[in-house]
């Protein structure tokens, strides 16, 4: 089912609550979303999206989920949580959610748009890889997404063409390391932290 973004919020929440998959705009590109707290839903997404073992990005509604997901978060990096388009890889300190937790998790808090409203209403984190089979380019339109995944996705939320950079990924497990420079530039991160990387 394809629904325009202006009319999709209620339906998207309903589909996520059923443990199904939603393709929707995130704060960077289109994402394949499913309930991160639902093991069966996550396994289904792994099956259609990528080989198990490679961790997915988790979008969280707010800072309280850092503790709920058992993530070790160094206090000196707190300001990074507020940066739009920045994904943080954090070490996990318990076995909770072991089906998504391979010793660390990549998390981001969306700060605007449909995805922010969706997470606020759904009130749980979502697993959110980009919309492409392993090795293909991410879908920029819903028609591309449908070509990739068809009926395997319960709901497609259409926000038109979305071109853009993926998020910047920062690894905070040991020291601090840029894994991928995307939406947020290295010099921006250096300014926020007041140090060179």
From first to last of the 197 residues of the chain, give the pLDDT tens digit.
Answer: 999 999 999 999 999 999 999 999 999 999 999 999 999 999 999 888 866 556 778 999 999 999 999 898 888 888 898 898 999 999 988 887 888 877 889 999 999 999 999 999 999 999 999 999 888 999 999 999 999 999 999 999 999 999 888 889 999 988 889 999 998 999 999 898 888 88
Q: Considering its fold, how many domains does the chain have in total?
A: 1
Task: Let me know: does 129 contact 59? Beta carbons within 8 Å.
Answer: no
Quickly tell me which residue has 């707190």 as its tokens.
78
> What pLDDT is recorded for position 158?
97
Q: pTM surpassing 0.75?
A: yes
Look at strands 57-59 and 126-127 and give their pairing: antiparallel
Give the pLDDT score at 54.
Answer: 65
SS3 content of the chain, % helix, strand, coil (to 5): 35, 25, 45
Residue 46 belongs to what H/E stretch?
Answer: helix 39-49
User: For the domain that residue 178 is a member of, what is the CATH number?
Assistant: 3.90.870.10
Contacts 24+ apart (CB under 8 A), 175-179: 176/77, 179/89
- Domain housing 14: 2-193
pLDDT of res. 164: 81
């Amino acid at each position: 089912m394809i629904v325009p973004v202006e009319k999709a919020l209620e339906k998207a929440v309903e589909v996520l609550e059923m443990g199904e998959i939603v393709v929707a705009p995130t704060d960077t590109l289109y994402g394949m979303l499913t309930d991160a707290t639902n093991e069966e839903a996550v396994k289904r997404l792994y099956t259609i999206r990528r080989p198990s073992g490679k961790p997915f990005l988790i979008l969280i509604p707010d800072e309280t989920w850092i503790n709920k997901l058992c993530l070790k978060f160094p206090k000196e990096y707190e300001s990074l949580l507020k940066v739009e388009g920045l994904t943080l890889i954090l070490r996990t300190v318990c076995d909770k959610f072991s089906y998504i937790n391979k010793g660390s998790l990549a998390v981001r808090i969306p700060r605007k748009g449909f995805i922010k409203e969706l997470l606020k209403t759904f009130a749980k984190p979502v697993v959110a890889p980009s919309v492409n089979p392993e090795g293909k380019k991410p879908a920029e339109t819903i028609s591309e997404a449908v070509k990739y995944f068809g009926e395997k996705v319960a709901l497609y939320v259409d926000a038109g063409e979305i071109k853009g950079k993926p998020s910047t990924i920062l690894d905070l497990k040991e020291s601090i390391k840029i894994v991928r420079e995307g939406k947020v530039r290295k010099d921006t991160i250096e300014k926020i932290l007041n140090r060179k990387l």
